[in-house]
Amino acid sequence: MKIVAMIPARYAATRFPGKLMQLLGNKTVIQHTYDNTIATGIFDDVFVVTDSELIYDEITNNGGKAVMSKRNHESGSDRIAEAAMAIDVDVIVNVQGDEPFVKKEPLTKLIEVFEHDATNQIQVASLMQVLTDEKSIADPNYVKVAVDRNWNALMFSRSVIPYNRDGKIKPTYYEHIGVYAFRKAALLRFTAWSMTHLESAEKIECLRYLENGVGIKMVVTDYMGIEIDTPEDLEKASKTFPASV
């Protein structure tokens, strides 16, 4: 099974434009993400897929592999699907460009979903972690996911799911971590579908799979690290990186 990691890297992020080119220690955020993905040693290849010449040059000038998008894309999945069309690969792992603290263990657990799926029933898998902070649970910037007994996603939402109506039970809340793995055919089908109703409302791309009847296997992991969404996130992350790193 050939497994490739692709890192979608859009320059003009809505909440923090140019965040991937911000310095974290003595490297940019995107360079940390790329280097740490390579360092896991679990991929046959790793590519950054970007709409930005600045990001492209940042990776290639440091000896990495990058692909320039030929079209504008609504989502990271659409962006990497364009690049994946020309690549001989079985499973593609989408590692977010703003995740500079990439670790081996969670990505290994995600890949194992496909290695243990002898009948190729699972088409898409993704990561989640337990969310306990009440403020974060209520925060729409934290995407929540509800799962069935077999760890298949039932729904993703920026709202609180499940809603604890009577307060007599203590449900487990899961935060969806935007790291996916797809079989190549499933990813290419995704790009052929129009944006769906729930996806448009929630601005959560993986809802397109659920609305088209494709299940998503969820994998519980420990904390992935700090996602760089805002200048405050970058400041928080900088405190964990010595200036020489």
220: which strand partners? 128
The answer to whether residue 222 is domain-embedded is yes
Per-residue confidence (pLDDT) for residue 114, from 0 to 100: 96
pLDDT top residue among 51 and 12: 51
Q: SS3 for 32?
A: helix
Residue 172 within a domain: yes
Q: In this structure, is residue 245 part of a structural domain?
A: no
What's the mean pLDDT when you consider all of the chain? 91
User: What's the rounded mean pLDDT across residues 190-216?
Assistant: 94
* CATH number of the domain encompassing residue 187: 3.90.550.10
- Number of folded domains in the chain? 1
Model confidence band, residue 244 (pLDDT cutoffs 50, 70, 90): very low
Domain assignment present for residue 78? The answer is yes
In the predicted model, is pLDDT for residue 207 greater than 60? yes
Specify the pLDDT at position 238.
87
**Average pLDDT for 20-47:** 94
| Residue span of the structural domain in which 191 resides | 3-238
Q: What is the CA radius of gyration of the chain?
A: 18
Could you check whether the bond before residue 8 is cis, i.e. omega within 30 degrees of 0? no
The C-alpha atoms of residue 156 and residue 4 are separated, in whole angstroms, by 26
More confident: 12 or 68: 68
The answer on pLDDT for 224 being more than 80 is: no
Q: Distances from the Cα of 131 to the Cαs of 93, 123, 144, in angstroms? A: 23, 26, 9
Instruction: Report the C-alpha gap between 78 and 94 in whole angstroms.
Output: 11
In a domain, 244, yes or no: no
pLDDT digits (tens, 9 = 90+) for 85-116: 989 999 999 999 988 998 999 999 999 999 99
Is 209 part of a structural domain of the chain?
Answer: yes
Whether 243 is in a domain gets the answer no
In a domain, 216, yes or no: yes
Give mean pLDDT, residues 110-133. Answer: 95
The predicted model scores a pTM of: 0.89
Give the ranges where the chain is alpha helix by DSSP (H).
29-39, 53-60, 76-84, 104-115, 134-138, 184-192, 197-202, 207-211, 231-238
